[in-house]
Amino acid sequence: SAGVTRGPDGALRVAGADLRELVAAHGTPAYLLDEADLRARARAYRDAFTEAFAAVGAGVDVYYAGKALLTVAVARWVHDEGLRIDTATGGELAVALRAGVPGAHIGLHGNNKSDAELEAAVAAGVGRVVLDSLVEIGRVAAVAQRHGVRVPVMVRVTTGVHAGGHEYISTAHEDQKFGLSVAVPAGAQDSPAMTALLAVLDHPGLELVGIHSHIGSQILDAEGFVVAARAVLTLRGELARRTGVLVPEVDLGGGYGIAYLPGERALDPVVVAGRLAQGVAAVAAELDQPLPRFSIEPGRAIAGPAGLTVYEVGTVKPVRTEDGTVRTYVSVDGGMSDNLRTALYGASYHAELGDRVSDAPGVPARVVGKHCESGDVVVRDVVLPGDVRAGDLLVVPATGAYGRSMASNYNQVPRPPVVAVRDGAARVLVRRETVEDLLALDLG
Ligand code: LLP
């Protein structure tokens, strides 16, 4: 991440603090977060999109997708930087509210929101509830009626565009749980998306504020967003022709890709914002439609590169592989309980020594955790100095998103703390769990 440098004695410095001192104070494993870097990424998205969309005459709001990493402080930081907060559960909503983010600046997603979550969202006056199914329309309308308010809602649609990595694919029908399809099924009059939009307009307790589309995650090319935007704007045009209602806002979701490995390319917010703004302007002109207000929901791109995990090496074991070569298994004091992404998605990460440099020749290594299964891998393939040994600190960069937020207590392992560093000073945002914390939940 941007705030990591190596000091003259070979130890890493994170946002101006010596890694060894951070570890002495906070232990391992720990998630370290560079506050200035995270804030700068939030600003970069806000500024890039605001400028690019202003240039084509459209307004835009940037929502931080809290699923990537949400703590009270993180919610405050991004809100300070002019972002709103996208939440996916009542828990995320509670964190955003605890941070003092006004309800009007919060959105609530979810394909199966509970009545309690809907009640909490409406009570907080959230700026939008994103509807994900036809049955949900009645549920939200009932909550609106109980509270005597009109609830602002968006309808989440699926455009058939899937993206992630370098390419996007486009198919009419999607076999997944989110959203309502814009495709008209054989023999039907309307698409599920159109049916939902019409149903929302029929409910006096619901205010249709937007159409929402999220096409995937870790996307490295803007084209898929533009193709999805075309489908959404086409739907918006059809609805306007049929009902006279021009939906005011279109949310294009999150998914902006980051670099996980040295030398990898991230999606540049300025480039993607420019391409997207030009793209939607061209489509709107072609459809002869006034531009809506837009919103986006980046999560990973804000939090991911701003965080790293520091571990201590416990054991080092050379293992002869099938092809006769030797792989060095380096076990650290965490694993799939603090970073599930390698095991779950086959995600790639990098690791390097954190407290020293070594001129020992590199060896092919695998960084593994302490859990009781062989899939417990943190970094599948990395070259580490051949003298890597117990007591070394290892850092894994780019773990700020979907690390802590997907952490578990597998094997009754307490989850690591989240420690923010700014100008050389550290502050614990979320304290380390203890076995006592876990035992306290177990009623015997
Ligand atoms: N908006 C919606 C509606 C989403 O479903 C998501 C992510 C986002 C925004 C934020 O996407 P981002 O900008 O962070 O890519 N656990 C997976 C990622 C799951 C993403 C799910 N939805 C991972 O670790 O890669």
Same domain, 295 and 248: yes
Q: What is the mean pLDDT of residues 100-126?
A: 98
CATH of the domain at 236: 3.20.20.10
Domain assignment of residue 50, yes or no:
no
Domain end residue (candidates: 273, 303, 333): 303
Same domain, 350 and 240: no
Residue from 294, 300, 336, 378 to probe ligand 1 pocket by mutation (most atoms less than 8 Å from CB): 300
355 — pLDDT class (breaks 50, 70, 90) = very high
Position with higher pLDDT, 173 vs 258: 258
Same domain, 299 and 318: no
Same domain, 133 and 246: yes
How far is Cα 131 from Cα 157, in angstroms, rounded to an integer?
Answer: 9
| Tens digit of each residue's pLDDT (9 = 90 or more) over 297-334 | 999 999 999 999 999 999 999 999 999 999 999 999 99
Q: How far is CA 129 from the centre of its chain?
A: 18
28 — pLDDT class (breaks 50, 70, 90) = very high
Residue from 297, 342, 406 to probe ligand 1 pocket by mutation (most atoms less than 8 Å from CB): 297
Q: Which one-letter amino acid corresponds to residue 277?
A: A
Same domain, 221 and 364: no
Mention every residue, 6+ apart, whose C-beta is less than 8 A from residue 209. 127, 128, 152, 153, 154, 247, 248, 249
Domain assignment of residue 42, yes or no:
no
Report H helices in 298-413. Answer: 300-303, 341-345
Q: Please identify, by atom number, the ligand 1 atom nearest to the C-alpha of residue 299.
A: 14
CATH of the domain at 428: 2.40.37.10
Q: What is the mean pLDDT of residues 365-391?
A: 98
Asked if pLDDT for residue 233 goes beyond 90, the answer is: yes
Percent of the chain with pLDDT over 70: 99
How far is Cα 153 from Cα 140, in angstroms, rounded to an integer?
Answer: 9
Domain end residue (candidates: 256, 271, 303): 303
* Distances in whole angstroms, Cα of residue 100 to Cα of each of 86, 97, 297: 14, 5, 20
Q: Is the CB of 404 under 6 A from ligand 1?
A: no
Structure tokens at 284: 């709107």
Complex ipTM value: 0.99
User: Which stretch of DSSP H or E encloses residue 364?
Assistant: strand 362-368
Ligand 1 centre to CA of 258 (Å) is 12
The predicted model scores a pTM of 0.98
- Residues taking part in catalysis: 372
Range of the domain at 264: 56-303
Same domain, 168 and 263: yes
DSSP state of 404: G
How far is Cα 52 from Cα 56, in angstroms, rounded to an integer?
Answer: 7
- The total number of structural domains that make up the chain: 2
Q: Please identify, by atom number, the ligand 1 atom nearest to the C-alpha of residue 212.
A: 3
Same domain, 130 and 225: yes
Interhelix angle 192-202/134-147, rounded to 10 degrees, is 20
Domain assignment of residue 40, yes or no:
no
Domain assignment of residue 394, yes or no:
yes
Which protein residue has the closest C-alpha to ligand 1 atom 15?
Answer: 255
Same domain, 268 and 321: no
Same domain, 395 and 408: yes
Cβ-in-10-Å burial (0-12, 13-18, 19+) of 214 comes to: buried
Same domain, 385 and 269: no
Percent of the chain with pLDDT over 90: 96
Residues 48 and 296 sit within 8 Å (Cβ to Cβ): no
Residue 1 pLDDT: 56
| Tens digit of each residue's pLDDT (9 = 90 or more) over 78-100 | 999 999 999 999 999 999 999 99
Q: Is the CB of 256 under 6 A from ligand 1?
A: yes
Same domain, 72 and 220: yes
Asked if pLDDT for residue 13 goes beyond 80, the answer is: yes
Q: Is the CB of 45 under 6 A from ligand 1?
A: no
Q: Please identify, by atom number, the ligand 1 atom nearest to the C-alpha of residue 68.
A: 14
Same domain, 161 and 198: yes
Ligand 1 centre to CA of 215 (Å) is 9
Domain end residue (candidates: 267, 288, 303): 303
Asked if pLDDT for residue 2 goes beyond 90, the answer is: no
| Tens digit of each residue's pLDDT (9 = 90 or more) over 249-263 | 999 999 999 999 999
Mention every residue, 6+ apart, whose C-beta is less than 8 A from residue 345. none
Sign of the torsion formed by the C-alpha atoms of 110, 112, 116 and 118: positive
Q: What is the mean pLDDT of residues 201-228?
A: 96
DSSP state of 431: P
